[in-house]
Amino acid sequence: MGKAEKFIETKGKNWFDTGDLTFSVLDAYKKFGAVPEDVYNGIIDKDWQHDHVEKDNILLAMVKSVGTSGYGRKTI
């Protein structure tokens, strides 16, 4: 959410893509905690790895649409 808000506030001039810096991950861990992978691993159909490509593409399209619309407001 934070990355999306910054992207929209800067009208698409801020970073919004997969990955992040380590300190952001640590900040999120402090703020939200962690969930063990055995509780929710996010892997579908017994695949061997996570695949976030579709999610990432949808989120990027959404924030680009709002962030570059020219209306100058965020609606998150």
Q: Is residue 72 part of a domain?
A: no
**Per-residue pLDDT tens digits for 3-57:** 888 888 888 888 787 776 667 778 888 988 987 877 776 677 777 777 788 888 9
Q: Quote the domain boundaries for residue 33.
A: 2-67
Residues with Cβ within 8 Å of 74's Cβ and at least 6 positions away in sequence, in order, are 5, 8, 9, 66
Total tally of structural domains belonging to the chain: 1
Q: What is the CA radius of gyration of the chain?
A: 15
Q: Is residue 54 part of a domain?
A: yes
Q: Decide: pTM greater than 0.75.
A: no
Half-sphere exposure of 33 (CA within 13 A, CB side): 3
Local structure of residue 10 (DSSP, 8 states): T
Q: Is residue 74 part of a domain?
A: no
Local structure of residue 71 (DSSP, 8 states): S
